[in-house]
Structure 1
Amino acid sequence: MGKEEIVVPVIDLANFPTELEKLSAAATKLGCFRVINHGIPLSLLADMKDTTRSLFQIPEDLKLRNVTQNLLEGGYVPLNYIPEIPFFESFGIHDASSPADVHSFCSLSNASPHQREIITDYFEKLHAVMMDIASRVAESQGLVGYSFKEWPCHSRLNSYKFSSQDIGRFGLPLHTDSSFMTVLQDDDSVQGLEILDTNGTFISIDPVPGTLCVIIGDVGKAWSNGRLQNVKHRVVCKKALPRITISLFLLAPKDDNIEAEPAFIDADHPKLYQNYIYSEYRKQTIVTGLRAGEMLSLLPKLPEDRRSSSPILEEVFEMASPLVGRPSIQDVVVSQSNVLGNALFPLIFEDQLVDASQVGLLNKASRKNGKPALYLLEEDTNLFVESLRFTLIGPVLVTLVLMEIQLIGIEIVRVVREQLLDCTSLKIPIHCRPLLRSQSPGTSGNPDLRQLMGKEEIVVPVIDLANFPTELEKLSAAATKLGCFRVINHGIPLSLLADMKDTTRSLFQIPEDLKLRNVTQNLLEGGYVPLNYIPEIPFFESFGIHDASSPADVHSFCSLSNASLHQREIITDYFEKLHAVMMDIASRVAESQGLVGYSFKEWPCHSRLISYKFSPEDIGRFGLPVHTDSCFMTVLQDDDSVEGLEIMDTNGNFISIDPVPGTLCVIIGDVGKAWSNGRLQNVKHRVVCKKALPRITISLFLLAPKDDNIEAEPAFIDADHPKLYQNYIYSEYRMKCMVTGLRAGEILSLLQP
């Protein structure tokens, strides 16, 4: 396991300047050290640890008062909330250096006067220690008197409720801290922290009572121009005992701007990283799952400002000029670092794709007739958007060339001037196929524009549930080739569909405290997702019902949401009828593959009521990124007037699935593909904001057998059709999708024998 023990450097804060050289070595080589003589009484450390334990014992309703819209700002994380670490529970304080924030945390947690006194005294002293350590680290690099007092300090109080089944599991997976530095009061008796040393070996950092552990983070590395070491670390369960830790994170300057100190830059030490916005950086680590320092490699130093014309840009404008006219290079590229011409387009068009492809940002590039051509497949849309965000991260004024499609008309390239003060506002609605200068609009050689942009409309197969067995062949083709179809004559009255949509809208209007009553410890089991909770889709809000085929679960949801008697009647009737339709469709799909009379009645059905509060700034953004549904099948009541659903067809193009009132849309998922031994098609799909209007959808997911075991039906396995996938446990599969970020069916390929 690579778990040898080493002696972590111990820095005596009472012995400066003697310790400076030792501190410098610890901070620049290992990125981790301990401090003694820090000035916090041992009794206060013990009292704070006891107080923290007691906070995790308060009633759940008091804990949930600490829930925030954005966990990056503090807030409470319940047990089971993060599927891959269900034993993890945490309180956060937005800025523990702020007496007001500490006071607010104490009030929300109903802390006693004695507890409040301990918490206040602890963070006051811990913050003073943080300031002392940080200034000493700066001094060790030659910056005497450098002050970090204006930098906010986030805190996390963590509880790991480890059981015997958890031994060997990650309490926290491998990561670097995004902040400048972390000061950790570890658990005195339950070890678990491991760091990656300079040889790439994991070493156990066992607790030493009375000391504080210091860990250098990503901001420290960028601020020092690469001198300080942002150490990779993780937490591993080694004992079936509860583990309590308290961390204080020195985040970033008050203005949120991260840049290397000028003293660390000279002719022999050129600038390694772009300036960037810390809050945006943290969001991107969540969006991409790159949480072990990889993000810094996406912030290379850019060339000095040059106004000379880029040959790559010249080609782009020559390609675009037949459509929109030729703009001036100076009108298009005006920025402090010539971002567009010297960073973005070389990344896309030149032969400089090695580093980008290694981190999965871009994987498509093309040259036509020896000339650069903008070439990105539709399935790479999210990758391109993220690459732009990384490339242009920071408070720069740039002019962007945005590629977009007007479904009516011939304009496909237009130049847009935009201030990139907030990278989340960046919108690239579509991607271009190769466009050659010789193909001007209106010529016979010009490809169809809808096909160019992958936004063509197709007629999704419509299955008439009242016309069986005639429809069986048509259903089989739809389920095995496209993986998506519509159903009519499903038996749910149009009036009930409309009433349920109205009821759903009204549920998203109830007071926040009622919504939060639906928060669960595990979102995979249902629960409420507030606005802004998922940073990359802040407009997304959702209610979940654990098993909508269960009257008890539906009743519980209605009670928690304080639904009126009329609303309760509508919700109950709707899910009763929708579940019956789901059972009918699923059995018809099985019948279309030769399994007559197959029953799915014991399979639970999860439901999600989703609201997308789209604004003009969201147009072109993903409402949900590309994914497959992990379940067997989804039945969707789409928004009748606000489109957004797109699926990937058999040619790899994304096609718009516009709503058809009165129908239900059916989508085959991963379990369907595994259960059918590869016959059914688990279709990739996404939601894209196309209108600045609220969008409401209701989904019912047919999950898995009651025993949670997924295996191919024996009828689908023979000498000509060997078994394609290993048996697997559905709940574990869903967790793996969450842990790895592989949510577009890739996990199935890892289950091949």
Structure 2
Amino acid sequence: MLHTAPIPTSLPDRFVFPADQLPPATTATISLPIIDMSGGRDEVRRAILDAGKELGFFQVMNHGVPEQLMLDMEVLAAEFFEMPEIDKAAYYSADINKANRLYSGTTYETGGERYWRDCLRLAYDFSVGDHVKDWPDKPQRLREIMEEYVVKARGVGMEILKMVCEGIGLRPDYFEGGISGGDVVFQMNHYPRCPDPSVAVGQPPHCDRNLITVLLPGPVPGLEVAYNGDWIKVKRIPGTFVVNFGCQLEVVTNGMLKSIEHRAMTNSEQPRTSVATFIMPSGDCLIGPAEDFIDENNPPLYRSLTFAEFKRTYNVVKLGASLNLTTNLQKAQKEI
């Protein structure tokens, strides 16, 4: 059920996390490695692998997505969340299995979301004719811009995956087919101004369960990445995407490339909106360490699971409870 009350001036109790559950604060701010995708292919490929091994995160520029499209996406995403609640009510659902839905911790009266975040999650299925018929059509041009944007953002992710293949010795089409053939999940995250950021969480520490993520972070800071036992604030560079490797890429490379924890912090000064594009495997795709990375000296660190099984595993153990994804996965897999 929706209500139209303004965001409260004090934080409701259900959003207050005990001190021992709050992520440690950080003051470190860095610019992630910036990779110019218009450079020589060998140079770009090497930069992607170096950044991926060091941080699991990097930024890309000259990626082929028009900057005006990125700006339009930022503006329209923010405008969607600023619309009156009555205009968004039809998209709200508490059903976590629904492909397209709006859910919220800050604006709706009921629901278990404890995080100071509103989220519009949409699925783009390349196998059907009308990909976006169930997507929001307000504000004006939102659906048109979202569809153009998600196709181009996926293209950036797939090109990066091709370069990863070239760099680590996998066949060039390794990430074609089922391993990247699920719905492209398009997620707009909105973090309203928070009455008390010191005790609230936008998104908790987590690793992405997909293959690769292409993020439009927006102009307001809030993304933080785990690094050397601490957290670093990501400095946004206009015109770039933030890219990070998901759990499936770590599994395929048997731990060579890492899926790194990250989190979203709140602030009391201004709202923040980000747009994430997740390249997902199909549910029945069997994923395990590639044979290229397995020998008598390098046993598999992970079991082979379908992506559907992996998602159940992901929910058994909160991947991100520590900085060691391998340990978390191995512990979770015992539950299957």
Q: Would the TM-score normalized by the shorter structure come out above 0.5?
A: yes
Structure 1 match to 2:38 = 14
- Label 1:88 to 1:96 Cα distance change in 2 as closer, same or farther (>3 A): farther
> 2:100 aligned with 1:70, yes or no?
no
> 2:194 aligned with 1:163, yes or no?
yes
**CA deviation map 1:355-405 (0-9, x unaligned):** x6xxxxxxxxxxxxxxxxxxxxxxxxxxxxxx7xx3264xxxxxxxxxxxx
Q: Which has the larger radius of gyration?
A: 1
Q: CA deviation at 1:29?
A: 2.2
- Label 1:104 to 1:10 Cα distance change in 2 as closer, same or farther (>3 A): same
Aligned-CA RMSD value: 2.6
- Label 1:207 to 1:169 Cα distance change in 2 as closer, same or farther (>3 A): farther
SS at match of 2:124: coil
Structure 1 match to 2:173 = 146
SS at match of 1:133: helix
Report if aligned partners of 1:167, 1:239 keep a CA contact under 8 Å in 2.
Answer: no
> 2:305 aligned with 1:279, yes or no?
no
Q: CA deviation at 1:139?
A: 2.1
How many residues were matched structurally? 301
Q: 1:136 aligns with which of 163, 166, 177?
A: 163
Structure 2 match to 1:115 = 142
Report if aligned partners of 1:181, 1:214 keep a CA contact under 8 Å in 2.
Answer: yes
**CA deviation map 1:540-598 (0-9, x unaligned):** xxxxxxxxxxxxxxxxxxxxxxxxxxxxxxxxxxxxxxxxxxxxxxxxxxxxxxxxxxx
Matches within 5 A, 1:582-593: none
Q: CA deviation at 1:296?
A: 4.1
Q: CA deviation at 1:196?
A: 0.9
Structure 1 match to 2:28 = 4
What is the CA–CA distance in structure 1 between the aligned matches of 2:64 and 2:256, rounded to whole Å? 28
**CA deviation map 1:630-664 (0-9, x unaligned):** xxxxxxxxxxxxxxxxxxxxxxxxxxxxxxxxxxx
Q: CA deviation at 1:291?
A: 4.2
Report if aligned partners of 1:34, 1:214 keep a CA contact under 8 Å in 2.
Answer: yes
What is the CA–CA distance in structure 1 between the aligned matches of 2:329 and 2:51, rounded to whole Å? 25
**CA deviation map 1:40-69 (0-9, x unaligned):** 111101111122122223453553433263
What is the CA–CA distance in structure 1 between the aligned matches of 2:162 and 2:284, rounded to whole Å? 19
Matches within 5 A, 1:181-330: 181-188=212-219, 190-197=220-227, 199-253=228-282, 255-292=284-321, 296-297=326-327, 299-300=329-330
Report if aligned partners of 1:138, 1:144 keep a CA contact under 8 Å in 2.
Answer: yes
SS at match of 2:301: coil
- Label 1:143 to 1:295 Cα distance change in 2 as closer, same or farther (>3 A): closer
- Label 1:95 to 1:291 Cα distance change in 2 as closer, same or farther (>3 A): farther
| Range with bigger deviation, 52-61 or 286-295 | 286-295
Report if aligned partners of 1:96, 1:155 keep a CA contact under 8 Å in 2.
Answer: no
- Label 1:28 to 1:169 Cα distance change in 2 as closer, same or farther (>3 A): same
What is the CA–CA distance in structure 1 between the aligned matches of 2:261 and 2:130, rounded to whole Å? 29
> 2:160 aligned with 1:127, yes or no?
no
Report if aligned partners of 2:190, 2:273 keep a CA contact under 8 Å in 1.
Answer: yes
Q: CA deviation at 1:113?
A: 6.3
Report if aligned partners of 1:13, 1:35 keep a CA contact under 8 Å in 2.
Answer: yes
Structure 2 match to 1:30 = 55
Higher relative contact order (CA 8 A, sep 6+): 2
- Label 1:52 to 1:61 Cα distance change in 2 as closer, same or farther (>3 A): same
Matches within 5 A, 1:728-747: none
Q: CA deviation at 1:33?
A: 0.5
| Range with bigger deviation, 72-81 or 47-56 | 72-81
Q: CA deviation at 1:162?
A: 1.9
Letter in 2 for 1:267: E
- Label 1:296 to 1:48 Cα distance change in 2 as closer, same or farther (>3 A): same
Q: CA deviation at 1:200?
A: 0.8
Letter in 2 for 1:218: C
Report if aligned partners of 2:31, 2:236 keep a CA contact under 8 Å in 1.
Answer: no
Matches within 5 A, 1:293-692: 296-297=326-327, 299-300=329-330, 390-391=333-334, 393=336
SS at match of 2:133: helix
Unaligned runs of 5+ in 2: 1-24
What is the CA–CA distance in structure 2 between the aligned matches of 1:72 and 1:126, rounded to whole Å? 23
What is the CA–CA distance in structure 2 between the aligned matches of 1:220 and 1:285, rounded to whole Å? 15
Q: CA deviation at 1:5?
A: 2.3
What is the CA–CA distance in structure 1 between the aligned matches of 2:121 and 2:113, rounded to whole Å? 19
| Range with bigger deviation, 211-220 or 133-142 | 133-142
Structure 2 match to 1:40 = 65
What is the CA–CA distance in structure 1 between the aligned matches of 2:254 and 2:313, rounded to whole Å? 21
What is the CA–CA distance in structure 2 between the aligned matches of 1:288 and 1:392, rounded to whole Å? 9
Unaligned runs of 5+ in 1: 301-355, 357-386, 394-753
Report if aligned partners of 2:34, 2:61 keep a CA contact under 8 Å in 1.
Answer: yes
**CA deviation map 1:319-360 (0-9, x unaligned):** xxxxxxxxxxxxxxxxxxxxxxxxxxxxxxxxxxxxx6xxxx
What is the CA–CA distance in structure 2 between the aligned matches of 1:97 and 1:36, rounded to whole Å? 26
Q: CA deviation at 1:235?
A: 1.1
SS at match of 1:214: strand
- Label 1:100 to 1:207 Cα distance change in 2 as closer, same or farther (>3 A): farther
Q: CA deviation at 1:110?
A: 3.2
SS at match of 1:26: helix
Structure 2 match to 1:179 = 210
- Label 1:71 to 1:193 Cα distance change in 2 as closer, same or farther (>3 A): farther
**CA deviation map 1:164-184 (0-9, x unaligned):** 423563211111111121110
Letter in 2 for 1:116: R
Report if aligned partners of 1:225, 1:272 keep a CA contact under 8 Å in 2.
Answer: yes
